[in-house]
Structure 1
Amino acid sequence: MWGWFPGGMICRVTSPYAQDGFAAGFDWGPVGAEVVAGDIVAVVDVLSFTTAVTVAVDRGIDVYPYRWRDESAVGYAEQYGATLAVGRSAAGPDGVSLSPASIRRVTGITKLVLPSPNGSTIAKQLSDTGATVVAVSLRNRRAAADWVAQQIAHGADRRPRVVAIAAGERWRDGSLRPAVEDLWGAGGFLSALGADGLSPEARAAVATYDVVADELPTLLHECAGGRELTQYGFAEDVAIAAEVDTSDVVPVLVNGRLFRST
């Protein structure tokens, strides 16, 4: 953003929303991901995109994030020779969907296009920004933090800026519904990272995670998102999302696919 100053000078003005000057930041949704830019961006969508990604990558399945499950997604899957995830209700006992439980059961696939309007959309949005994008859930929040800490330690010229983006959900009118499980996931990642220089927003996310850490996974089942999935018959997905620190995979987005970082 540019502004005019006395004397006719044009100077760059930093957005007050960018959390500029801090080593680590936090924000919500696609707009937050655009405004609060980072060199390394952790996308967090606990129920269920990033949890599904960790389950897939645990099993050696590469994930291709996509915005919508429509005709264009069919063509996108064909382009990469990948299986296209269907809706949860359409998957049946042998199909694969955004449900982590379905991904844990499926056999015979190595590539999966996984559309979702929240976490997958944000990951796809960030794919062309030059940022290093990682998929973070409660399952791999510590492994992801350890991996990011290594990237920071090996930074050649400057310390990379880390941003955690909580995907959130959508109300019926399309507006962002902040989802507490994503706040916990982002805060848990930042807490494990243990970085100095957290923005006030990032500090708030860490504090929120730390105060409930001993009560997970119970609270994940009791939050609105957990109750919603349970009501729809997907309690197993909530249980998988609540497997805190059980996964050592760090899915990194490169050339449109999320796969295990080495």
Structure 2
Amino acid sequence: MTSPYAQDGFAAGFDWGPVGAEVVAGDIVAVVDVLSFTTAVTVAADRGIDVYPYRWRDETAVAYAEHYGATLAVGRSEAGPDGVSLSPASIRRVTGITKLVLPSPNGSTIAKQLSESGATVIAVSLRNRLAAAGWVRKQVESAGGSRPPKVVAIAAGERWRDGSLRPAVEDLWGAGGFLGALDTDGLSPEARAAVAAYEVIKDELPESLHECAGGRELTQYGFAEDVAIAAEADTSEVVPVLVDGRLFRST
């Protein structure tokens, strides 16, 4: 019996977090983690830096980075003025690297999980939502056949202290902006709700991104520049695609 949560029969669906990514399986899956994993990935891709998603920032991450000859991103508070972290601003400033292991308990974890499912995984933020939607439309058109690829947007969300999912409104906006740009009538009700959320906020996006919980949190910790970069809507033409463990630039 088909799961009622799978959003089958629609061209595009939407859900939250690792469990949603597993249940609402898609042929092409857009991972959306606006503050800050997928924004950081688009900034890296703009600069020609390949990103290797990794879940934990621990000894295994050190070994993983060494295996690929990559730089390991450190915590935001550890990076200093010349280091590189999950902060998009630090990635924009850094020089001399072409490979970056980017640990993240949310967006990176989902990307790694999906890479093992056989889906085509892309990183989507507010910065590249139009470019990503255009890329997906081309993939769907070129696929042909009686069943076009199903597209799913997964909002990564954040975590409460008890480990449970905290839906993050900025990821809802990013997913909705991407799904709306697909220009398809085949959106699931969940996907339509995400598009509606983006439409309500799109004309006041920078202000709302700074005032939402995630934006206030980063600003409180001294990373308001990261929020400003995340609000650079439709400025990036890159579409980072996950292949063999790395997110690399596709245009």
TM superposition score normalised by structure 1: 0.95
In the alignment, structure 1 residue 199 sits paired with structure 2 residue 188:
yes
- Give the secondary-structure state (helix, strand or coil) at the position aligned to 2:9: coil
Could you tell me which residue of structure 2 aligns to residue 189 of structure 1?
Answer: 178
Q: Which runs of 5+ in 1 are unaligned?
A: 1-12
Matching residue of 2:95: 107
User: How far does residue 205 in structure 1 lie from its aligned partner after superposition?
Assistant: 0.2
SS at match of 1:216: helix
Matched, 1:175 2:164: yes
When Rg is computed on C-alpha atoms for both structures, the one with the higher figure is 1
Partner of residue 114, structure 2: 126
Residue 156 of structure 1: how far off its partner (Å): 3.0
Distance in 2 separating the partners of 1:43 and 1:70: 23
Q: Read off the aligned partner of 2:212 and give its amino acid letter.
A: C
Q: Which segment is superposed worse, 129-138 or 151-160? A: 151-160
CA RMSD of aligned residues (A): 0.6
Distance 1:239 1:97 in 2: 16
1:137 aligns with 2:132: no
Indicate the SS of the match to 2:108: helix
Counterpart Cα distance in 1 of 2:181 and 2:144: 23
Distance in 2, matches of 1:189 and 1:177, equals 21
Aligned to 2:224: 235
Give the superposition deviation at 1:184. Answer: 0.1
Mapping of residues 20-39 of structure 1, within 5 Å: 20-39=8-27
Is 1:87 aligned to 2:70, yes or no? no
Bigger mean CA offset, 156-165 vs 91-100: 156-165
AA partner of residue 129 (structure 1)? S
2:208 maps to 1:219: yes
- Displacement of 1:261 after TM fit? 1.4
Q: 1:244 aligns with which of 215, 233, 251?
A: 233
Corresponding residue for residue 62 of structure 2 = 74
**TM-score, scaled to structure 2:** 0.99
Which runs of 4 or more aligned residues in structure 1 lie more than 6 Å from their structure 2 counterparts after TM superposition? none
**1:196: how far off?**
1.7
Partner of 2:101: helix, strand, or coil?
strand
Q: Note if 1:44 corresponds to 2:32.
A: yes
